[in-house]
Amino acid sequence: MSAPEAQGSPAAALAKDGAEAAPLVEEPRLGASDRGRRANLALLALSRAARSFLLYDPGNDAIRRFIEDLRTRMTQALAGGDALRFEVRPFELALDGEVVYLERDREHSLAFRMYRDGVRRLTIAGAVDWDEMLRLLEILSIRFTGVRQDEDDIVTLLWKAGFKHIEIEAVEGFVPEDEEEAQRGHASAVTAPDDWDLPRRRLDAAAALAWSEVPEDARQAMCAEEASHLLAANAAQAAAALLERAADATGAINVADVLPFMAEVRDFLLAEGQLGHLTMLVRILQMNAALDPAHIEPLMLTFGDRRALVQILHSTPEATTAPPPELVELLDLLPAERLPRLLDALSSERNEAARRITRQLVERYAGDDPEYVVSRLRTAEASVTCDILRALAGALPERAVEVAAELIQHPDASVVSEALRRLETAPPQPRVARALLRLLDSPDDEMRLRVIELLASQYGATVFEPLLRSTERRAPEGFPLEEAEGLGRALARLAPSAALPVFKGWLRPRGLMGRLVESRAQSLLAWVAVAGLGGMSEDEAEGMIREAAKHADSELRRHCMATLARRRREQVSRG
């Protein structure tokens, strides 16, 4: 049962089952300065929105109101464009030394949950966008609800989020009370001899303790080196440094020791969409492959396997119109099986931006194995067949025309339409003409009109006879009058001298008996003839139309008169 509409403030909203939920605890309002008060209201809105998922169903109107309140308050707090740099204390958040958030209840305290996980400073830049704020809210709500006890802590979640305008400074979080018990299962994993630290090192004379003030610019520079948005670059550099150390024969580690870490960095960079750093690691692995080819080469291929490719494609922004250069470089470095993986991704991907990028990549690499691409096209579902045909047309136009000529018999109308688009752009050739003539039997009226116009505009007298036979064969079954007019104009344009006697025969007056048994086919052919004669410049054509009008029924007579009027207008316009 849905919740009734909440009354008053968002905190008084009703829960999903209709019973009143316990109201969200209101933290005290703080802030001596105007900026501090605005920051306080923004933090209160953030805390309430994060905790609201404990009380309400995600689709509840109350949660939407909390989120809207957060958007309003955070916009106001950042109105001046200055970043909000919060110092995180056990139960407080301070802005420039001013306490702007205080909640001593551990269950409800936003500050405590961040402090417990190791966050010591949270910076929200003035240029932060709403998508990033929603991701921050999502992370905080996860830590409030605690749905999964093995969920990553806030620090890890914030790093994984890949924020551009939100940064943290962090230390190790609080040690769980049962850590000693948790570690027992790992005690046997690492053992050291009893005398590993003997003999004891002789220490120099102790120096006197002295306070050394670190300049603020130096401290900021050190913090910047570990900023959350630089984590991907630091991880890639660490992996490269370890592999370089392993390459040193005198080093304490070997390649096999480093590869598990490399795999972890690979997964992290894939999750972050850091294609440039992924490519850098692949190059480093290639340069060091000779050190341990049995281990390095299989690992290197995982940087571009199907799982990795799907992750990269899923991270493609909707507005992306071309493959990222880093992805192209990565696939160029890892050519093994790239075409099958791309076609697999195209078959399973539903996101439109990802499909567009994948199709362009298939086009880029279709030359690796054109026949494999064609074989996948013939067995794919309709939408994928269309995408592969587009890719093939961009890479190998002539091969695409051959395939398109075959696909006009496909049972799916969207595939036939895509095949026709490929034939429309192909240079005139007998194979294409035969395919177009077969399309005249299509049940799609619009498609037949396109084919008739294409034959008339790009092909000459060679298709006159086949088009004539098709018209006479299909007339008993009937076709729209618009198509009849198109056929007449096409026949007259393809071979005027051959069309004239044909039209004359179709319009020849019949005797009384002939008029009584006149069929729909004969009426249609007469309609075709009048339309064709209307496009001819010969004087005889106009006389034939006038004569036909004398013996025609009312419908065909109107067609004759309209055709004659059009001929006169065209003659006047030509002068």
**Position of tokens 């099958």?**
340
Of 350, 352, 376, 351, residue with least CA distance to 362:
376
The pLDDT of residue 42 is above 80 = yes
Q: 14-23, 331-340, 505-514 — which is least confidently predicted?
A: 14-23
Count CB-CB contacts under 10 A for residue 566: 13
Whole-number percent of the chain with pLDDT over 70:
85
Beta strand pairing call for 92-95 and 166-170: unpaired
Phi, psi of 168, deg, nearest 5: -130, 155
Yes or no: say if 160 and 152 are a contact pair by the CB < 8 Å rule: yes
The pLDDT of residue 132 is above 80 = yes
Yes or no: say if 423 and 404 are a contact pair by the CB < 8 Å rule: yes
Yes or no: say if 88 and 115 are a contact pair by the CB < 8 Å rule: yes
- In this predicted model, what pLDDT tens digit does every residue of 63-77 receive, in sequence order? 888 889 999 999 999
The pLDDT of residue 8 is above 60 = no
The pLDDT value given to residue 12: 34
- If pLDDT is split at 50, 70 and 90, which confidence band does 173 have? low
Phi, psi of 167, deg, nearest 5: -130, 155
Q: How many angstroms separate the CA atoms of 91 and 431, rounded?
A: 79
Q: How many angstroms separate the CA atoms of 356 and 383, rounded?
A: 12
Reported as type and span, the H/E element at residue 570 is helix 554-574
Say how many residues make up the chain: 575
Q: 85-89, 151-155, 390-394 — which is least confidently predicted?
A: 151-155
The pLDDT value given to residue 148: 44
- In this predicted model, what pLDDT tens digit does every residue of 492-514 receive, in sequence order? 999 999 999 999 999 886 544 34
Average pLDDT over residues 139-151: 58
Q: What pTM value is reported for the model?
A: 0.61
- What is the sign of the dihedral through the CA atoms of 342, 344, 347 and 350? negative
**Domain locations in the chain?**
10-174, 479-575
Average pLDDT over residues 425-454: 93
- Please state, in angstroms and as integers, the Cα–Cα distance from residue 476 to each residue in 441, 472, 482, 512, following that order: 13, 8, 16, 21
The pLDDT value given to residue 58: 65
Of 244, 341, 232, residue with least CA distance to 285:
244
* DSSP result, 314-380: HT--TT--S--HHHHHHHHH--TTHHHHHHHHHHH---HHHHHHHHHHHHHHGGG-HHHHHHHHHHS
Residue 489 tokens read as 């104009």
